[in-house]
Amino acid sequence: MSDNASDVDSGTVYLVGSGPGDPDLLTVKAKRLLEAADVVLHDKLPGPEIIDMLPEDRREDVGKRAGGERTPQSEINERLVELAREGNAVVRLKGGDSFVFGRGGEEAEYLAAHDVPFEVVPAVTSAIGAPAVAGIPVTHRDHASSVSFVTGHEDPTKEESAVDWDALAATGGTIVVLMGVGRLPDYTKALLEAGMAPETPVALVERGTWPGQQVATGTLETIVDARDEAGISPPAITVIGDVAGTRESIVDCLRTDYGTAEDEA
Ligand code: SAH
C-alpha cells in the first residue's frame, strides 16, 4: 500500500508521459506522481537523467528482458494489473507522451478490460519537443499549415504499408517521423518518387533534450549521407519540410541547455 495516500490512489495505474528527457520538462503532476508512486515501470526512452531520479527499490525496467530482447507488451500489461491488484499506486512511465506511439492506448484498453482504475497524464511529445529545442517549429505561418506524425518503422515498399507516403507528400505540410533512423533511405526515396522536391529541407534530432543531443541537417537528397557522417542513431526524430530550413536563420541566437550550433554535426 502507498505511504503517500494523500498524493496517489492505491490500486490505480497512472499512465504518465515523461516528456522528451530533460527532467525540467516533466510536468509538475508527473514529478509528483513519480515521487509518490509505490512502483514505476519504465523502459529506456525517458532518458538517463529521469531514470536516475527514480529510487532503485521502487522502479522496474520493463524495456528489455535478460538476453536483450524486448519485453512483450502482454507481459507489461499483466504486470500492471498484478501490481495494481496488490494495492500499489503504479506509474507506467513512457518517453514523450504515452498516447503518441507509446502503446498507452493498448495499456488503457487492457486495464479497462480488467477493471483496473487508471489515469492518463499527458506530456511533451518528442515529436514536437525535440525539433523545438533544435530550433524547428513544426508549423509556421509562412511554411507549413499542417503537420503529420508518422512511424518510420515500416517498409515503405511493402504492399500494405500503413503509412501512405504519396498522400503525405501531397499535403505540403511538415512530416515528422518517429522510429525513422534505420529506414531513412527508404522513405526519403518514397517521398522523392511521390514528387517532393529533392531540395526539401530535412533535419534529424537525436536524443533531443538528453545530454549529448545531436542535430544533422540536409535535404531529401542529402540527409542519408548527413545521418551517416554524424553517426545519428536512435532515438531520433526526422523533420521533413520547409520548417526544417528555418533553423538556419535562427540558430546563431538559439540558446538551449543542450548545446549550441557548435555541437551540430
Ligand atoms: N511516446 C514517445 C514516442 C515513442 S516511439 C513520444 O511521444 O515522444 C519511439 C521514438 O520516439 C524514437 O524512435 C524516436 O523517434 C522518438 N523519440 C523519443 N524520445 C526522443 C528524444 N528525446 N529525441 C529524439 N527522438 C525521440
Tally Cβ neighbours within 10 Å of residue 248: 12
Give the predicted TM-score (pTM) of the model.
0.94
- Ranges of beta strands (E only) in 137-213 are 147-151, 174-178, 201-206
**Top mutation candidate among 42, 124, 237, 256 for ligand 1, by most atoms within 8 Å of CB:** 237
From the number of C-beta atoms within 10 Å of its C-beta (0-12, 13-18, 19+), residue 189 rates as middle
DSSP percent split of the chain into helix, strand, coil, nearest 5: 35, 20, 45
The tally of CA atoms less than 13 A away on the side-chain side of residue 175 is 26
**Residue of the nearest CA to atom 11 in ligand 1?**
178
Which residues are 107's β-sheet partners?
A: none
Q: Using DSSP, state whether 15 is helix, strand or coil.
A: strand
Residue nearest to atom 18 of ligand 1 (CA): 126
Q: How many helices (H) and strands (E) does the chain have?
A: 9, 10
C-alpha separations of 226 from 133, 189, 210 in Å: 20, 15, 21
Q: Which three cell numbers stand for residue 73?
A: 507488451
Q: Is the CB of 245 under 6 A from ligand 1?
A: no
Instruction: Judge if the beta carbon of residue 234 lies within 6 A of ligand 1.
Output: yes
Catalytic residue among 9, 29, 31, 43: 43
Q: Is-contact 240 202, C-beta < 8 A? A: yes
User: What structural domains does the chain harbor?
Assistant: 5-124 (3.40.1010.10), 127-264 (3.30.950.10)
Instruction: Give the C-alpha separation, 6 to 86, whole Å.
Output: 18
Dist CA 143 CA 131 (whole Å) = 15
The pLDDT of residue 6 is 57
In this predicted structure, what is the pLDDT of residue 5?
46
All three cell numbers of 216: 544533422
The verdict on the CB of residue 129 being under 6 Å from ligand 1 is no
Check 1, 7, 44, 64 and give the catalytic one.
64
pLDDT at residue number 68: 78
Locus of grid cell 503504479? 90
Distance between Cα 157 and ligand 1 center (Å):
24
Q: Which residues of the chain fall short of a pLDDT of 50?
A: 2, 4-5, 260-263, 265
Choosing from 43, 100, 126 the residue with most ligand 1 atoms within 8 A of its CB, the one to mutate for a pocket test is 126
Angle between helix axes 184-193 and 223-230 (nearest 10 degrees) is 170
Rounded distance, CA 211 to CA 259, Å?
9
Task: Check if 201 has its Cβ closer than 6 Å to any atom of ligand 1.
Answer: no
pLDDT at 262: 44
pLDDT in tens, 140-193: 999 999 999 999 998 787 777 789 999 999 999 999 999 999 999 999 999 999
43 is catalytic: yes
Our answer on whether the CB atom of 93 is closer than 6 Å to any ligand 1 atom is no
